[in-house]
Amino acid sequence: MLSVSVQGSIVLLNSSYDTARELFMVINSSFIRYWKTDHPNDDVIIQQSHSGSTKQAMTVLQGLRADVVTYNQVTDVHILYDRGKLIPCNWQFRLPNNSSPFYSTIAFVVRKGNPKKIYDWDNLTSEDIKIVFPNPKTSGSGRYVYLAAWNVISSRVNNLKYQDIRSWMSKFLHNVLVFDIGSRSATATFVDQLRGDILITFEAEANIICEQHGRENYEIIIPEKNILVEFPVTWIDANVGKHGTEAIAKSYLQYLYTEEAQKIFADFYYRVHVPSIMKAYSNRFPDIELFRVEDQFSDWNTVMCVHFNRGGELDKLLAMRHNR
């Protein structure tokens, strides 16, 4: 029996990261048409909730009745098991590609003409560079930026000492002008408030900025060595059981792997797993070397403990920044 709560409609709530609003508006409309081919009498409403990925996960733990989550980091999904037992431990194996239907990487957005001559991670510690990216404490995007910078710099020079990496990271963080709560607020700081020389964000968000605010005003740089950003999804077992939405929640997430949905992701500048679609959209996606966090650091739980939990490397580096 499906949940019927808004004047006889089936209501599904998707809790997602903050730059995915426009994407899921299109996905939702497309899925409803897909669902109604087999269920023509169903009236389906898909509600959206967006903010920083970590903040969204906390909200679900505090009682948000989300049926599905579509986040930008594995830890933000897995915490729903760790702290709430809202999903099973093996949630990542329920859908293809570790339950990540699309992926991306990190991009630099600079103002037209690239006045500060920023071309790669190495350029980001110059004293006159002002950087904008989200706070790694609250944003999955911010954590990917931090880890990409750390890994790329640590691999630049053979036998680079740990203290040398920390020194570079301290200079990098010293140049951060604003730590916004999420990617979309970082975009507003850079684009609307005209603050900063560079915005570091997802490749998809960088291209949406250029489309909405004029490619004549910005340039995008995709560093050749970069990080794989995954977007894990799952249905919330504890909630879909109560709402009677298990069947449609599973169908919604399975739909994300169809060619129709994969084309929508590519339209929004997300990389996808269907080779023919990637070939068709090859002019959008530079061929770069991507590394997985788990291959270069450790599992995400260890990464969180070492770098992002209270008293971790990020806190120590920020303290160094304030003491510079």
Q: How many CB atoms lie within 10 A of CB 211?
A: 11
User: What's the pLDDT band for 1 if we cut at 50, 70, 90?
Assistant: very low
Kindly give, in sequence order, each residue whose CB lies less than 8 Å from that of residue 186, ignoring residues fewer than 6 positions away: 132, 133, 134, 141, 178, 180, 199, 201
Distance CA 235, CA 260 (A): 21
Q: Tens digits of per-residue pLDDT, 51-70?
A: 888 889 999 999 999 999 99
| pLDDT tier, 217 (very low <50, low <70, confident <90, very high otherwise) | very high
Query: What average pLDDT is seen over the chain?
Result: 93
**What per-residue confidence (pLDDT) applies to 6?**
56
Select the highest-mean-pLDDT range: 171-185, 250-264, 280-294: 250-264
**pLDDT higher than threshold 90 for residue 27:** yes
Confidence check: pLDDT of 3 > 60: no
Output the six-digit token pair for 245.
């939405």
The confidence score (pLDDT) of residue 61 equals: 97
H helix intervals, the chain: 21-36, 53-61, 74-82, 96-99, 140-156, 162-174, 183-191, 203-213, 237-243, 246-255, 259-267, 275-280, 293-296, 300-303, 313-322
Looking at this protein, which amino acid is placed at residue 11? V
DSSP letter for each residue of 149-160: HHHHHHHHSTT-
Both tokens assigned to 10: 């089936």
Q: How confident is residue 158, by pLDDT bands cut at 50, 70 and 90?
A: low
